[in-house]
């Protein structure tokens, strides 16, 4: 049990509030937050599939909700969370493979994640709108 | 490398540190992430194409064998990866007895949602 460890005053490393937010730290927590957000959207994905399996009536109700203002805002949040988590995770997988640890590369890949995920979010919405007519 | 030899006497006495099982979970998270890259991109692209589709078109698409297969793989991958990811988050922020409760609830939820999603897909695939 860790509770039985005698309490001693030891120097603590600086806490998170003390540091100025940097691209590296912001993207690190953004990947975690977008992952948590996406797990909530995964619930909606299942609800949507179950509605589709239930029949045309339940499915059209789901589509009405998705096409409402609130639904569209939620869907936009889902799109951005998805592309942010996708790009961020690819960056992490490259690190896990042992590449890209130089400070310059870390900042370059970080800004790439920000730009590419924003661009893909906007692009996917533009394509959807064009295809939907 | 001798794992016991790497641990400090205090760490060994308190039962802290690696028990040789941590790496496994780390790998599972990466492997499922790698599988989800093509699956989620395919799904996002498909949804974009089907933005204006009606119910019949959408169901006909879901019923194609390759789409049903990819959909089941996607759902299994999503909830497997979600369970692993949320486990790390829960273990980082919950320190009381609530941790076990949160882990149990999260895993039951992920399993239930995966089954519900896969079953819905199969009902559509094998439906009339």
Contacts of A59 in chain B (CB under 8 A): 55, 58
Q: What is the DSSP letter of B66?
A: H
Mean pLDDT score of chain A: 92
Mean of pLDDT values over B3-16: 69
- From the list B34, B52, B75, the residue facing A131 with the nearest CB is B52
What residue ranges define each of the domains in chain A, with the CATH number in brackets? 23-132 (1.20.1300.10)
Whole-number pLDDT of residue A28? 95
**Fold exhibited by the domain B22-126:** 3 helical TM bundles of succinate and fumarate reductases (1.20.1300)
A40-65 residue pLDDT tens: 999 999 999 999 999 999 999 999 99
With cut-offs at 50, 70 and 90, classify the pLDDT of residue B6: low
Mean of pLDDT values over A104-112: 97
B68-121 residue pLDDT tens: 999 999 999 999 999 999 999 999 999 888 999 999 999 999 999 999 999 999
| Among B32, B68, B40, CA closest to A83 | B40
CA–CA distance, B36 with B78 (Å, rounded to integer): 7
Query: Looking at the complex, does the CB of residue B72 fall below 8 Å from at least one CB of chain A?
Result: no
Is the pLDDT assigned to residue A1 strictly greater than 50? no
Is the pLDDT assigned to residue B42 strictly greater than 70? yes
With cut-offs at 50, 70 and 90, classify the pLDDT of residue B1: very low
Q: Residue A7 — left, alpha, or beta (φ > 0 → left; ψ -120 to 50 → alpha)?
A: beta
Q: Which residue is associated with the tokens 């460890």?
A: A5
- From the list B14, B55, B85, the residue facing A5 with the nearest CB is B14
């Amino acid at each position: 049990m860790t509770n039985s460890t005698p309490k001693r005053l030891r120097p603590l490393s600086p806490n998170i509030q003390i540091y100025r937010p940097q691209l590296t730290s912001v993207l690190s927590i953004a990947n975690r937050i977008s992952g948590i957000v996406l797990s909530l959207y995964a619930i909606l994905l299942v609800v949507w599939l179950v509605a589709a399996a239930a029949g045309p009536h339940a499915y059209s109700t789901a589509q009405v909700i998705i096409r409402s203002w609130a639904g569209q805002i939620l869907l936009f949040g889902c799109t951005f969370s998805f592309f942010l988590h996708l790009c961020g995770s690819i960056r992490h997988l490259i690190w896990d493979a042992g590449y890209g640890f130089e400070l310059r590369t870390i900042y370059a890949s970080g800004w790439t994640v920000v730009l590419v995920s924003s661009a893909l979010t906007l692009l996917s919405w533009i394509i959807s709108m064009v295809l939907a007519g | 490398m001798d794992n016991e030899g790497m641990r400090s006497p205090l760490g060994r006495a308190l039962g802290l540190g690696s028990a040789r099982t941590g790496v496994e979970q780390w790998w599972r998270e990466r492997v499922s992430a790698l599988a989800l890259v093509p699956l989620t991109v395919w799904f996002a692209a498909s949804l974009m194409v089907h933005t204006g589709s009606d119910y019949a078109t959408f169901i006909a698409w879901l019923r194609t064998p390759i789409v049903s297969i990819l959909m089941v793989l996607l759902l299994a991958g999503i909830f497997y990866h979600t369970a692993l990811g949320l486990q790390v988050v829960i273990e980082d922020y919950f320190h009381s007895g609530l941790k076990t409760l949160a882990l149990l609830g999260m895993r039951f939820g992920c399993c239930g949602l995966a089954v519900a999603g896969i079953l819905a897909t199969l009902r559509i695939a094998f439906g009339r």
